[in-house]
Amino acid sequence: MNKKILIPILYVLICLFWGSSWLVIKLSLEYISPFINLGLRFLISASTILLVMIWTNTKLDLSSRSLVIYLVLGFFSYAIPFNLVYWAEQTIPSSLASILFGMYPFFVAILSTIFIKEETMSVPRFLGIVMSFTGLIFIFNASFQFELSPYLLGMVAVVLSAMMQASVAIFIKKNGSNLNPLSMNFIPTLIAGLILTVLGLLTEDISKVNFSFIAILMVVYLAVIVTVFNFTAYYWLLKRISIVLLSLTSFITPVIAVFLGTVVSGEKLSKNVLSGSLFVLLGILIVNWEGIKKIYHQKRFSSL
């Protein structure tokens, strides 16, 4: 297929798949408990990645430095943050979870400014971060009570998940740039899958788990399509289009998730939550504004 056609197709697909994943996670939790649900997802993902590695003849880096990176990814990029999201979606709407996780690029922006010398805090980036955190205040204020309700704790869990993922992203940028993407994710997903499955078998009520066809289909969808396909497509696109355009998926994904959660699942968000969500989404655009303008000027110049 022609790359000019394949690039926009893959871009649209990864946005659709990531956007739909929030609702699919919530629906899958009606059949399979969080630990076992997520454990199976990662075990299937690891198996699929292994098959791709064999097919592409990708070697597994087993140096001591790489093993440390695998452990960090396994626990702090997969097992803990994903489990926080799954746990949270038992109490909060999938659309709200996607918006709260949309804070991820802002945590990356803040941490990269602190820990990476080449990164600077520009005015648009600062304004975008302020706007998004203002939106976060609106969202939390709408649900704040003087007691730690499951709903409030669910929102906190998603934000903590985004912070943890952002921290790992900075760690990988500084320490794991030499690793092959497939190699970098095979062992971590395997570690997370084994740990979460064992925890599920030990702590969750297996008698209530319903391995129906639709439940298995949702887990496979999350494992193969959302995790493996999107991950592979994202890195393929990263080498061929602007990183600014790719970063805008963090704006498009919550919009799709809100649409699906509202239309398909009938989720309802309060006016304060919707207002806060608008601030978060606008903040994402502002953070990327400089890159968007640069792309526009480059295209305009090339067309002259």
User: Of residues 290 and 258, which shows the higher confidence score?
Assistant: 258
Q: pLDDT at position 303, please?
A: 41
**Other beta carbons less than 10 A from residue 18's beta carbon:** 20
Q: Under a CB-based contact definition with an 8 Å cutoff, are residues 105 and 243 in contact?
A: no
Tell me the pLDDT tens digit for each residue of 170-212.
Answer: 888 777 767 777 888 899 999 999 999 999 999 999 888 999 9
Parse the chain into domains and list their residue ranges: 3-302
**To the nearest whole number, what is the mean pLDDT of the chain?**
84
Greatest alpha-carbon span in the chain: 67
pLDDT classification of 281: cutoffs 50, 70, 90 = confident
pTM to 2 decimal places: 0.86
Q: How far is it, in rounded angstroms, from Cα 21 to Cα 253?
A: 9
DSSP secondary structure string, 77-120? Answer: IIIHHHHHHHHHTTTS-HHHHHHHHTTHHHHHHHHHHHH-TT--
For the cut 60, the answer to whether the pLDDT of residue 284 exceeds it is: yes
Q: How far is it, in rounded angstroms, from Cα 126 to Cα 267?
A: 32
Q: What is the 3-state secondary structure (H, E, C) of the chain?
A: CCHHHHHHHHHHHHHHHHHHHHHHHHHHCCCCCHHHHHHHHHHHHHHHHHHHHHHHCCCCCCCHHHHHHHHHHHHHHHHHHHHHHHHHCCCCCHHHHHHHHCCHHHHHHHHHHHHCCCCCCCHHHHHHHHHHHHHHHHHHHHHCCCCCCHHHHHHHHHHHHHHHHHHHHHHHHHHCCCCCHHHHHHHHHHHHHHHHHHHHHHHCCHHHCCCCHHHHHHHHHHHHHHHHHHHHHHHHHHCCCCHHHHHCHHHHHHHHHHHHHHHCCCCCCCHHHHHHHHHHHHHHHHHCHHHHHHHHHHHHHHCC
User: Of residues 290 and 13, which shows the higher confidence score?
Assistant: 13
pLDDT classification of 148: cutoffs 50, 70, 90 = low
Q: pLDDT at position 38, please?
A: 97
How distant, in Å, are the alpha carbons of 38, 174, 211, 214, 262 from that of 29? Answer: 10, 35, 11, 12, 18
Most confident of 32-41, 49-58, 160-169, 228-237: 32-41
**Residue 3: φ, ψ to 5°:** -60, -35
